[in-house]
Amino acid sequence: MRPFTIVALATLLAGCSALGGKHTPFSIHSPKLSPFAPAATTPVDWQLQIALPQASSALDSPRIAVMPHPGVLEVYPAARWRDPAPRLLRSLVVEAFDLSGRVGGVSGANVGLSADYALAIDLRDFQAEVGRDGTRAAIRLQARLFDLRGNRIVATRAFDETAAAANSDVGNVVAAFETALAQLMPELVNWTITSGNAAWAEMANNASP
């Protein structure tokens, strides 16, 4: 069973052209996470905020980006993500932590949570890439875990996930994104929890008399 469900609302929403007011139908794709097995099951003692990922203006869009040649970004004309890529990624990250069942207090950074740590993400790539070996979905990001109480970075790591698509058709590209996200989310969740627990234990040891 595929770990994500794609919700496509074809022709229900339309984009208006600048001239003539013509409507071009497009589909909206909304990946859904399925439960995954975390590396451990013990709940943590701290709370976490997920900041809105930072991205270039080219990626901060609901358009589904494709790189037909290195350094050239285009978009699929008749397809959209349900949200701009940074917001889509943040909602999936929050959901992944919820599904892990290990962090009782986790939310987006714009929610009034008194958190101990914040997960900041620089989204470098979130696009389909077309090469000699075919088309693939690529998600590359830099994650940083901040200690909000100590005002310091306690861990940083780069994540690079790709997944092959059957071809460059948008439906197959979205399916490849699903595969890449299925690989990325458990790694990001487990790394964050491991790093947070290590920093939490260090703080407790330093506070001991």
* pLDDT tens readout for residues 137-183: 999 999 999 999 889 999 999 999 999 999 999 999 999 999 999 99
State the total domains in the chain.
1
What pLDDT is attached to residue 85?
97
What pLDDT is attached to residue 111?
65
Percent of the chain's residues with pLDDT above 90 = 69
- CATH number of the domain that 73 lies in? 3.40.50.10610
Alpha carbons 137 and 153: distance in angstroms, whole number: 30
Residue 172 lies in a domain: yes
Find the mean pLDDT for residues 61-65: 97
In degrees and rounded to multiples of 5, residue 172 shows phi and psi of -70, -30
Segments forming the whole domain that contains residue 153: 45-207
Alpha carbons 104 and 28: distance in angstroms, whole number: 31
The answer on pLDDT for 20 being more than 50 is: no
Residue 95 lies in a domain: yes
Q: Cβ contacts of residue 68 below 8 Å, gap of 6+?
A: 74, 130
Residue 118 lies in a domain: yes
Q: Cβ contacts of residue 38 below 8 Å, gap of 6+?
A: 100, 101, 102, 186, 189, 190, 193
Residue 89 lies in a domain: yes
What pLDDT is attached to residue 15?
39
HSE on the CB side for 192, CA within 13 Å?
34
Alpha carbons 109 and 54: distance in angstroms, whole number: 13
Residue 101 lies in a domain: yes
